[in-house]
Copies of this chain bind each other. A is one copy, B any other.
Amino acid sequence: MKVLVTGGAGFIGSHVVDRCLADGHEVVVLDNFSTGRREFIRAPLQHPRTTLVEADVFIQPDRVTEAMQGCDLVFHLAANADVRFGLEHPRRDLEQNTIATFHVLEAMRAAGVNRIAFASTGSVYGEAAVIPTPEDAPFPVQTSLYATSKLAGEGLISSYCEGYGFQGYIFRFVSLLGERYSHGHVFDFLRKLRANPNRLDVLGDGHQKKSYLYVGDCMEAMFCALENATDPVNIFNLGTDEYVEVNDSIQCICDHLNLSPELVYAGGDRGWVGDNPFIFLDCQRIRSLGWAPTRSIRESIVSTVEYLMSESWLLEART
């Protein structure tokens, strides 16, 4: 099988590339390297079954169509994943997530490819009325431009399934952790603690409850769904059966680093405007296909800290 991975040099995308190669597939890595990193795909690029296409899904739809030729499956993972700063540049989520997803779907239609796996987000549940939140939770009201743009992507995909006979796999992730993680709260905390081990500034009141999933477990879940779910539209929450408070996460990081910084809270019950103070997904649907996570959230946090300490160029490279 030939698989195109948009955002293939990113955190999640590079793991998908590794997995596809390990499974014997041919892989087209498509990335604009705005947040993707060549270091993450160094090994795949040596592989004869890998092709790299450096292109931007929003700006260069024609290059996506070209790259799509002969593919059997598309993992559409390229996105603006910067949830927190949507309000500072409201156009970005619309362009890089909603319109970019439209470009991917049109490229597929032009190239005769009709199977797509898509990285959506648990944020589409907004301030969820039911927790843990199942896939058919009460129709939520969107609170962030990021989630809005991902939900629009979901709708485009399911409409293409209905209208053009596509088959879609939509994954509503919690936040992921693990190797190549390079964006999010563990990253931010580590960088701050490297700059000043005696003080840690924390968004909100530290009681925000979040769920995390190990990226390796996420890979198993996505491929389990692709192998076992056969509907035209297949929507799955992906997460663990637990959540942690931001304070728990800080404790875990500080214990591992043997630090006891003063914690300085920004205050309020959420990290930023549009943040959801409690994300915890009901994952019975994917569990019923036989998948289960292998790592607890704390284990994932520790392995992420270890990864970032061993790859400290990542902590240094970012501004």
Bound complex: CA A164 to CA B86 (Å): 11
The reply to whether A274 and B159 contact each other, CB–CB distance below 8 Å, is: yes
- Complex Cα distance, B99 from A148, in Å, reads 13
CB within 8 Å for A138 and B138 given contacts A152-B152, A155-B152: yes
How far is B94's CA from A102's CA once the two chains are assembled, in angstroms?
A: 8
Residue-wise, chain A 81-105 has the 8 Å CB interface mask toward B (1 for contact) of: 0000011001100100011001001
The answer, yes or no, to whether A245 is at the interface (CB within 8 Å) is no
- Given A94-B102, A102-B94, A273-B163, decide whether A129 and B138 contact each other with a Cβ distance below 8 A: no
Q: Which residue of B lies closest to A235 (CB)?
A: B141
Instruction: Check: A78 CB closer than 8 A to any chain B CB.
Output: no
Closest CB in chain B relative to A217 CB, distance in Å: 24
How many copies of this chain? Answer: 2
Q: Does A70 contact B (CB under 8 A)?
A: no
The secondary-structure label for the interface of chain A is helix
**Is the C-beta of A137 less than 8 angstroms from some C-beta in chain B?**
yes
Which residue in B142, B155, B274 is a CB contact (below 8 Å) of A148? Answer: B155
* A: interface residue count bin: 35 or more
Interface members, chain A 17-44 (any B CB < 8 Å): none
A156 in the interface (beta carbon within 8 A): yes
Given contacts A137-B139, A141-B158, A155-B142, contact A164 B87 (CB under 8 A): yes
CB distance from A61 to the nearest CB of B (A): 11
Contact with B along A231-248 (1 / 0, CB 8 A): 001010000000000000
Q: How far is the CB of A184 from the nearest CB of chain B, in Å?
A: 20
Residues of B contacting A139 in the complex (Cβ-Cβ under 8 angstroms): 125, 135-140
The answer to whether A145 and B163 touch across the interface, beta carbons within 8 angstroms, is yes
Is B86 touching A163 in the complex (CB atoms < 8 A)? Answer: yes
A162 close to chain B: CB less than 8 A: yes
A220 interface residue per 8 A CB criterion: no
Closest to A156 in B: B148
The 3 closest A-B pairs by CB, nearest first: A148-B155, A142-B155, A152-B152
